[in-house]
Amino acid sequence: MKLLVINPNISESVTTLIATEARLSASQDTDITAVTAAMGVAYIETRFEALIGAYAVAEQIAQNLPGHDGVVVAAFGDPGLMALREALPVPVTGMTEAALSTACQLGSRFSIVSISPRMRGWYLDSVHSSHLSSRMASFRSLNERPSSVATVQQDQSERLIEIAHQCVHEDGADVIVLAGAPLAGLARKIKHRLPVPAVDGVSCAVKQLETLVRLQPNKATAGSYAGVPVKPNQGLSPEMQAFIKAAALLN
Amino acid sequence: MKLLVINPNISESVTTLIATEARLSASQDTDITAVTAAMGVAYIETRFEALIGAYAVAEQIAQNLPGHDGVVVAAFGDPGLMALREALPVPVTGMTEAALSTACQLGSRFSIVSISPRMRGWYLDSVHSSHLSSRMASFRSLNERPSSVATVQQDQSERLIEIAHQCVHEDGADVIVLAGAPLAGLARKIKHRLPVPAVDGVSCAVKQLETLVRLQPNKATAGSYAGVPVKPNQGLSPEMQAFIKAAALLN
Amino acid sequence: MKLLVINPNISESVTTLIATEARLSASQDTDITAVTAAMGVAYIETRFEALIGAYAVAEQIAQNLPGHDGVVVAAFGDPGLMALREALPVPVTGMTEAALSTACQLGSRFSIVSISPRMRGWYLDSVHSSHLSSRMASFRSLNERPSSVATVQQDQSERLIEIAHQCVHEDGADVIVLAGAPLAGLARKIKHRLPVPAVDGVSCAVKQLETLVRLQPNKATAGSYAGVPVKPNQGLSPEMQAFIKAAALLN
Amino acid sequence: MKLLVINPNISESVTTLIATEARLSASQDTDITAVTAAMGVAYIETRFEALIGAYAVAEQIAQNLPGHDGVVVAAFGDPGLMALREALPVPVTGMTEAALSTACQLGSRFSIVSISPRMRGWYLDSVHSSHLSSRMASFRSLNERPSSVATVQQDQSERLIEIAHQCVHEDGADVIVLAGAPLAGLARKIKHRLPVPAVDGVSCAVKQLETLVRLQPNKATAGSYAGVPVKPNQGLSPEMQAFIKAAALLN
Amino acid sequence: MKLLVINPNISESVTTLIATEARLSASQDTDITAVTAAMGVAYIETRFEALIGAYAVAEQIAQNLPGHDGVVVAAFGDPGLMALREALPVPVTGMTEAALSTACQLGSRFSIVSISPRMRGWYLDSVHSSHLSSRMASFRSLNERPSSVATVQQDQSERLIEIAHQCVHEDGADVIVLAGAPLAGLARKIKHRLPVPAVDGVSCAVKQLETLVRLQPNKATAGSYAGVPVKPNQGLSPEMQAFIKAAALLN
Amino acid sequence: MKLLVINPNISESVTTLIATEARLSASQDTDITAVTAAMGVAYIETRFEALIGAYAVAEQIAQNLPGHDGVVVAAFGDPGLMALREALPVPVTGMTEAALSTACQLGSRFSIVSISPRMRGWYLDSVHSSHLSSRMASFRSLNERPSSVATVQQDQSERLIEIAHQCVHEDGADVIVLAGAPLAGLARKIKHRLPVPAVDGVSCAVKQLETLVRLQPNKATAGSYAGVPVKPNQGLSPEMQAFIKAAALLN
């Protein structure tokens, strides 16, 4: 199985974190191709940056999809996830959706632990998009945006552990979701220090994608996830044009 | 007041419909600038086309915002609305959100009447994004995607009236939302033939935007709608780079 | 356009606050008629007082409607709003519904700031009536009912600003709703001191009503907002009898 | 135990139906005082008529409460229920709330069977007020408002039985709620012909009230159901003034 | 009327508390048979213990039902309630469902006060099962599991009163639900010290059951609460086999 | 990896269906132990049968757990799932929860296709337990309980395909959930004849369990999924006593 894992922001250091955790989580016969958005910002923490990230992911897919059995959108908030699920002939998963789906099979209520207070509102919106707000115990984060996303998980691991304990003891969380690609891999490092299971978006997205690929669901040809209809377009890259033409052929 | 109304698809004929209805609805002292996406598809009816449309709208804003007091995203489904609300120093409204907000002040439950059955799932998702699913009576549409979005409202007006009556008499709708930019202006033509109020996305988006502009809300400098933080970026058009820099200065 | 703005309580001083803000918010060609309930209590802060207020508003409408293009119910909690929407041939808005509808176009989550802790439960019920509970970040209020509703916004403005900051920084509010007619006009005075947009019920109700009047929705003749059916009645004032007869004719 | 059962509309024939069922349902040591609104309309089927009914109920309470241990608001839609619960020193129940509370202890989902299609929207709003919309299977009604509310249950019993079967077999109802005071007593007559339990608003409201009276809950002196605060009033009947003064003393 | 009240745990001392409160609450002509589970644990505070309790209750019913008009499942969390409602020819109530149904007729929002912090998650799940999560103000409990469930209500009454006050003043509760069979009877002892009504699961379950028995609902023969279909079984006690055969005959 | 798959009903033929699909779905290095409940009924289609099934599953676990890395509860409706998740030191999945979690990563809305109309109400309750009711498009089933659960998938496959098409074209389903252990394996046989992806409970439960086992979440030692507390018990099988003692040691 060959999976395309796309970092929707432009930071190669974050792609490295993602790729490492993806490979640690993947089954032995799974190959991971990790790519970085060619356009966008260093780190996505707002809805607007996610808008750009969604388009950047689509471009990466248009260029890199052939030969892959599934796609991971590797940023929390899942930029473009539903749209890509519609257009792609293969399954696609996202870090938030996969983490929540997994967490909800480990307990009744989850808390999200994030590296930046700015994400609070947008993450609440993301959880609402998954219709799982009523299973959310709380959102907690570091008090300040970290100076370096590449090293935040080392720099702040003690503080993040403390926050996770508050989620359990004060907010009633049964599961902790460590949110955001910069925390990729942290769950496996600190889980023995937490009193409840902790899940990581990257590993959940990879494992959930492996499941979807193995189940070999057929591509929808009716309903709202059928391929995109054929219609005139303009101003798109040649790769995107080819991709849209292919998506239309799915119908 | 000067409003920038952006058609997220590339059809000039749809922009004309939008602009006409926008000007008919606007107050006397409101000027409407109507622009068409430079990239994208002829008509948005899927989540993937909306993903492209969202980026195309952002580009239009980056190029055309100066001198405007507010922005309308003039496609149903509101591509990019929340993201643009975050990044812009001026208010922004969308056809779906504005139509639902207005409809909910005219009755308890609304039905959405659309020109294509394909929109069903995506529109349900859009209503969910507004947290108003429990006020939705039904979605109904023409049975087939129309051959021409430019003339669908003339070609199909009798069928659309019939569908609206079903929404009232079978589904319990108190208000009809005529959905999609290709139906811009239809509400004012057929409302005397409907047994309940009908709202139109373009006129609602323009009027709601006029209200927001007149109320002169200050731009958020905290919370999840504060301007976008400063951070490195790449691969963006010069206009987009300038726009992001300006958005960051809002904080 | 001529709008009838009704204070459902008997305090002329509150009517003055309402009328002043209504006129400051209205378009140039909008005339505001502000009237005070002839029966009821000095200030509505309970469901029971709202029950009386609802009836008092209906009486005022029965006496004063002719010549007006729309009605504002100018108390938070919107006493009688849905009932009046059913019976009236013209649009009607309320302070809570209009403030929430407007707030939800400025951000994802709002907090309500109120002058009395007593309102907490009833306001939560009111937000539930609008189906917008899942967009509410918090309710906060002064600790004690103010000694004077006429001067509370001057007396307590510093404390109210402080409370609004707590809503943003502790509760995650994207927008502040300054609730209650006694706070009419405060938003425009303190908004520059708040980190997120603040909305005021009176100005929102007037602007939303102007929008509804301009859109000229037809009166429902079917569904649950059609005019009230003809049937025997007794014990009503002559004006109310005439009003009901007129409402029945709408069908 | 002495219960005050108030018909919020002016039809003595409906009061007779209500009183008969109330007495059949009540425990042996329960006395029922049945009174009819002095003001209002012949039959409540709209939100506006309920607004008047709510005020009329409050007047009846102001005149007749002394000596009673509890109050039933005997119209579907429960005009003024929450407000009266706040103001009264004794428990108060309503036909809708009591019927739904009882139905939800007999099965997972209920359907409402009503005598008029007009009630659909308002009843949905009433169920939403009880936060039980997600347990509602369907609303069904006669196709036309009945010519006589006094005899509708005899005239239409076969049709109502047929409708109830549709609720079970097509909509998945576990319990049938026969709605509206004009159907008072019908459940006990037709229940042997229905495949699921059927509940009647009047009997449920009486039994639930007996329970609340027997449990002897103390009157709230804090929170949103504490008695109504003391404040100036005007334009109210002497009985209502006395009642409000008494309600204030509850604090 | 003869009611079977079943303690799903094995503690006779708790059965005594339950039986005492049940008899104090019941009408004069109601006889209470109180039985204790023959299998299970000393006190149910987890979902797993409730799983065992549900089966133990079914066994008790299989052995003791004949001659009874209704059944109370006398543990919070209502082990097996919906299942038993399906299988039994007579009404069945549970402590949680009955307490919430009663509380919701006394105010808009309730808080649950419990003796063990462990119950938090499971009780939230139980409230969700009743679809009443949106009416829950808070859950609060003692900080530690009590050393003796038989004496916890005496040992901890002052602390429980303090917690109830926090629910009202900090969380906005209109009603307090004193949860768990070990607190049976406490509400009547401390209610005069609380600022809002307090309800007790046992008394609510008995009174709600008396109501259901008096209303004489017919047993469902269709829908999801019809008796259990006939089919082969094995490994069950002779009493359970007989009970299942009887349940099948209900159809 | 060694997984214990438990059929909560007593039909060996159904266990065979389950085991076959479980082994087809599992990874190469996964061993499946399939066991059948020793007590219970031939086929679970009611809440009461699920109550018995839950206890029967617990007994099977008490006897067979050692040496396994995870447990699948292999009946739709997931009898005892949350309780077992609490008590077990290893992950546990259920057919409904796993199927819904997987379906929600393939589209926005799912329909459930079942073999018996009786399941409708209980399955709706099960979906509510997962908090996913708002993502359910519809429930549809065969009109009659099948005469043989062992052969229903062959006997009725054409009818089931037809029903699935109705779910897509009439109800708007993006994904079909083929519900119930007797349909185990049908999805892989008929998926090429369906216009949207179809998921099967057994394969989803196995794949989701493999994911949970691979992620190696630590067992909760706090919160509502910590192991069951130590306390006296009686009337339990020796295996169950040993199991409970082990569960308590998890804390």
Q: Do chains C and B touch (3 or more CB pairs under 8 A)?
A: yes
Q: Do chains C and F touch (3 or more CB pairs under 8 A)?
A: no
In this complex, the residue of D102, D197, D225 whose CB is nearest that of residue E107 is D225
Looking at residue C163, what is its pLDDT? 98
Q: In Å, what is the CA distance from D216 to each residue of C11, E198, F148?
A: 38, 10, 55
In this complex, the residue of B120, B121, B133 whose CB is nearest that of residue F134 is B133
Contact B48 A229 (CB under 8 A): no
- What letters, b where the CB count within 10 A reaches 16 and e where it falls short, cover A51-60? bbbbbbbbbb
CA of B195 vs chain A CAs: smallest distance (Å): 30
Q: What are phi and psi of B101, to 5 degrees?
A: -60, -40
Mutation target to probe the E interface, by most E beta carbons within 10 A, among C124, C128, C130, C144 is C124
Task: Spell out the residues 6+ positions from residue D28 whose beta carbon is closer than 8 angstroms to its own.
Answer: none
Residues in F closer than 8 angstroms to B124, CB to CB, are 108-109, 172
Query: Among C211, D127, D48, which Cα is nearest to B105's?
Result: C211
Nearest chain D residue to F120 by CA distance is: D172
Contact C84 D48 (CB under 8 A): yes
Mutation target to probe the C interface, by most C beta carbons within 10 A, among D43, D51, D97, D148 is D51
Give the tens place of pLDDT for each residue, F2-30: 999 999 999 999 999 999 999 999 999 99
Mean pLDDT of F24-47: 96
Mean pLDDT of B82-96: 97
Contact B208 C85 (CB under 8 A): no
Looking at residue E145, what is its pLDDT? 86
H or E, element range at E125: helix E119-129
Query: Among A119, A205, A113, which Cα is nearest to A156's?
Result: A113
Q: Do chains B and E touch (3 or more CB pairs under 8 A)?
A: no
* DSSP 8-state code for residue E10: S
Contact C52 D86 (CB under 8 A): no
* Residue C235: other Cβ atoms inside 10 A: 15
In this complex, the residue of B173, B224, B226 whose CB is nearest that of residue C108 is B224
In this complex, the residue of E50, E54, E118 whose CB is nearest that of residue F229 is E118
Q: Do chains B and D touch (3 or more CB pairs under 8 A)?
A: yes
Contact D50 C83 (CB under 8 A): yes
CA of D117 vs chain C CAs: smallest distance (Å): 9
Contact F211 A102 (CB under 8 A): yes
Contact F145 E229 (CB under 8 A): yes
User: Pairing between strand D70-73 and E233-234?
Assistant: unpaired
In this complex, the residue of B39, B80, B233 whose CB is nearest that of residue A51 is B80
Amino acid type, A83 = A
Looking at residue D251, what is its pLDDT? 64
Residues in C closer than 8 angstroms to E109, CB to CB, are 121, 124
**E91 or A228, which is more confident?**
E91
Task: Give the span between the Cα atoms of A35 and A10, in whole angstroms.
Answer: 10
Task: Give the span between the Cα atoms of C152 and C154, in whole angstroms.
Answer: 5
User: How many contacts does A have with B, using Cβ atoms within 8 A?
Assistant: 143
Residues in C closer than 8 angstroms to D45, CB to CB, are 229
The chain-wide mean pLDDT, for chain E, equals 96
% of chain B exceeding 90 in pLDDT:
92
Mean pLDDT of C188-198: 97
Contact B223 C197 (CB under 8 A): no
Mutation target to probe the D interface, by most D beta carbons within 10 A, among C10, C14, C48 is C48
B156 pLDDT more than 80: yes
| Residues B146 and B116 sit within 8 Å (Cβ to Cβ) | yes
pLDDT band at D105 (very low <50, low <70, confident <90, very high): very high
To 10 degrees, the CA torsion angle through D225, D227, D230, D234? 90
Looking at residue B251, what is its pLDDT? 64
Residue spans of alpha helices (H) in C70-195: 81-87, 95-103, 119-129, 152-155, 157-169, 186-190
pLDDT band at F251 (very low <50, low <70, confident <90, very high): low
Q: Do chains A and E touch (3 or more CB pairs under 8 A)?
A: yes
In this complex, the residue of D102, D131, D174 whose CB is nearest that of residue E134 is D131
Output the CA torsion sign for E145, E146, E149, E153.
negative
Max CA-CA distance within chain C? 56
Contact B229 A145 (CB under 8 A): yes
Contact B134 D128 (CB under 8 A): yes
Contact B172 D120 (CB under 8 A): yes
F145 pLDDT more than 90: no
CA of B104 vs chain F CAs: smallest distance (Å): 20
Contact C223 B130 (CB under 8 A): no
Query: Among E145, E205, E199, which Cα is nearest to E167's?
Result: E199
Contact F215 A223 (CB under 8 A): no
List all chains that touch chain C, counting a touch as 3 or more CB pairs closer than 8 Å: A, B, D, E
pLDDT band at E9 (very low <50, low <70, confident <90, very high): very high
Mean pLDDT of D101-125: 97
Looking at residue C251, what is its pLDDT? 65
Local structure of A22: helix, strand or coil: helix
pTM of the predicted structure, to 2 decimals: 0.97
Q: In Å, what is the CA distance from F238 to each residue of E115, F10, F233, F245?
A: 30, 22, 11, 11
User: Pairing between strand D175-178 and D136-141?
Assistant: unpaired
B51 pLDDT more than 90: yes
C19 pLDDT more than 80: yes
Task: Give the span between the Cα atoms of B103 and B108, in whole angstroms.
Answer: 8
pLDDT band at B245 (very low <50, low <70, confident <90, very high): confident
Give the tens place of pLDDT for each residue, F182-209: 999 999 999 999 999 999 999 999 999 9
% of chain B exceeding 70 in pLDDT:
99
Task: Spell out the residues 6+ positions from residue A178 whose beta carbon is closer than 8 angstroms to its own.
Answer: A113, A160, A164, A186, A187, A198, A199, A200, A201
The chain-wide mean pLDDT, for chain B, equals 96
CA of F198 vs chain D CAs: smallest distance (Å): 24
pLDDT band at E251 (very low <50, low <70, confident <90, very high): low
Sheet holding F136-141, edge to edge: F136-141, F110-114, F175-178, F198-200
Query: Among B122, B31, A208, which Cα is nearest to F107's?
Result: B122
Q: Which region among A30-44, B217-231, F102-116 has the lowest average model confidence (pLDDT)? A: B217-231
pLDDT band at C145 (very low <50, low <70, confident <90, very high): confident
Q: D interface toward F at CB cutoff 8 Å?
A: 107-109, 134, 172, 174
| Residues F105 and A98 sit within 8 Å (Cβ to Cβ) | yes
Give the tens place of pLDDT for each residue, A190-226: 999 999 999 999 999 999 999 999 999 999 999 999 9
Give the tens place of pLDDT for each residue, A125-184: 999 999 999 999 999 999 998 888 889 999 999 999 999 999 999 999 999 999 999 999
CA of F192 vs chain A CAs: smallest distance (Å): 7
Local structure of E105: helix, strand or coil: coil
* DSSP 8-state code for residue C194: S
In this complex, the residue of C105, C188, C198 whose CB is nearest that of residue B101 is C105
Mean pLDDT of F148-176: 96
List all chains that touch chain A, counting a touch as 3 or more CB pairs closer than 8 Å: B, C, E, F
pLDDT band at D217 (very low <50, low <70, confident <90, very high): very high
Residues in C closer than 8 angstroms to D37, CB to CB, are 235
Residues in C closer than 8 angstroms to E174, CB to CB, are 121
H or E, element range at D146: none
* Residue C125: other Cβ atoms inside 10 A: 17
